[in-house]
């Protein structure tokens, strides 16, 4: 019998077969980290202007730092952690309604052999569209039917406040409308929690607010060193590391985001942590000091 999921996957496959694009679903990385089985799954990618990397730096300076004038190809990396009986997703992609080239998570899960029914927890770093809107499938049903969904209580309060529209530029109003619609559909399934506590067994949230008002990152401890899943605390493989003081246009509170970035970089370098960045190419790597700043050392 055809399930709704297999119908969706069949239609996605049919759509792909009509174009010359390679299959967009993919497993970005698989590793054993901090005593857990970790898979990073692609939700696709979108393009954004290079100028968005730093609103207070000149384009020439940005090009100088990145060595390229090309637009940013922002990849979307969803982390899946399997440990004991728990299968934990960190963020859940863009869904069908954000941007062309995104919304590939369901196909990537299928490729990785991870059944949506098996997911026990979905933890959100924050509630921007590329992290939240994939929570619902094309039928507006939660993608992970058996999961407990958890988001930071500051983040939920911000996006569900009727006054949120006054606090956002007009081009971000769709972010708020989307967040409100999806949180309403999740209803009682969604729980809120705070930084400094474990949201799933052995997976603790820590504060990295700035990119959004309630942005959190996650840390896990293990014999081979800690693992940090950083969401959008670090978004660009060069600029976030070499120029952490620059202010990307996507950060809500630029000063708070700079401070969070500096804290995360200092900790990750000092603790020799493995890091996973939602928008970092290849997702997985480490942070090394480089003079007064840092560099991203990709795994593998």
- For Zn ion, the binding residues (CB under 5 A) are 130, 232
Query: In angstroms, what CA-CA distances link 227 with 187, 267, 284?
Result: 31, 11, 10
Nearest distance in Å: CB 48, Zn ion: 11
Nearest distance in Å: CB 196, Zn ion: 23
Our CB check for Zn ion shows the closer of 152 and 232 to be: 232
The pairing of beta strand 27-33 with beta strand 86-90 = unpaired
Following DSSP, what letter does each residue of 209-233 receive, concatenated? TTSSTT-EEEEE--TT--EEE-TTS
Cβ pair 66, 88 in contact under 8 A: no
Our CB check for Zn ion shows the closer of 5 and 244 to be: 244
Our CB check for Zn ion shows the closer of 93 and 116 to be: 93
Nearest distance in Å: CB 28, Zn ion: 15
Cβ pair 230, 217 in contact under 8 A: yes
Nearest distance in Å: CB 37, Zn ion: 24
Nearest distance in Å: CB 20, Zn ion: 28
35 Cβ contact partners less than 8 Å away, ≥ 6 residues apart: 83, 220, 222, 223, 224
Nearest distance in Å: CB 232, Zn ion: 4
CA distance linking residue 36 with residue 72, whole number of Å:
31
Query: In angstroms, what CA-CA distances link 216 with 24, 196, 245?
Result: 28, 10, 19
Give the H/E segment covering residue 42: strand 36-48
Our CB check for Zn ion shows the closer of 124 and 206 to be: 124
Our CB check for Zn ion shows the closer of 173 and 272 to be: 173
Our CB check for Zn ion shows the closer of 142 and 231 to be: 231
């Amino acid at each position: 019998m055809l399930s709704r999921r297999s119908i969706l996957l069949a239609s996605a496959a049919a759509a792909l077969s009509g174009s010359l694009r390679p299959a967009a679903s993919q497993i970005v990385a698989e590793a054993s980290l901090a005593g857990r089985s970790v898979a990073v799954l692609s939700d696709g990618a979108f393009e954004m202007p290079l100028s968005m990397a730093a609103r207070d730096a000149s384009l020439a300076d940005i090009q100088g730092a990145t060595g390229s004038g090309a637009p940013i190809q922002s990849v979307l990396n969803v982390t899946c952690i399997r440990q004991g009986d728990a299968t934990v997703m960190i963020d859940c992609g863009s869904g069908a309604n954000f941007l062309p080239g995104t919304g590939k998570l369901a196909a990537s899960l299928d490729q990785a052999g991870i059944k949506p029914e098996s997911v026990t927890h979905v933890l959100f770093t924050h509630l921007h569209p590329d992290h939240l809107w994939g929570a619902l499938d094309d039928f507006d049903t939660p993608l992970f039917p058996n999961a407990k969904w958890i988001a930071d209580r500051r983040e939920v309060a911000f996006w569900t406040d009727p006054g949120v529209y006054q606090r956002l530029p007009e081009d971000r109003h769709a972010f708020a409308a989307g967040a409100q619609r999806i949180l309403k559909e999740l209803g009682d399934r969604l729980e809120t929690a705070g930084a400094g506590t474990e949201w799933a067994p052995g997976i603790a949230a820590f504060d990295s607010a700035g990119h959004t008002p309630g942005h959190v990152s996650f840390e896990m401890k293990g014999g081979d060193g800690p693992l940090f899943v950083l969401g959008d605390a670090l978004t660009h493989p060069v600029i976030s590391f070499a120029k952490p003081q620059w202010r990307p246009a996507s950060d809500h509170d630029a000063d708070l985001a700079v401070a969070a970035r500096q804290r995360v970089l200092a900790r990750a370098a000092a603790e020799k942590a493995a890091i996973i960045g939602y928008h970092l190419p290849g997702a997985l790597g480490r942070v090394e000091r480089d003079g007064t700043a840092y560099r991203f050392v990709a795994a593998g």
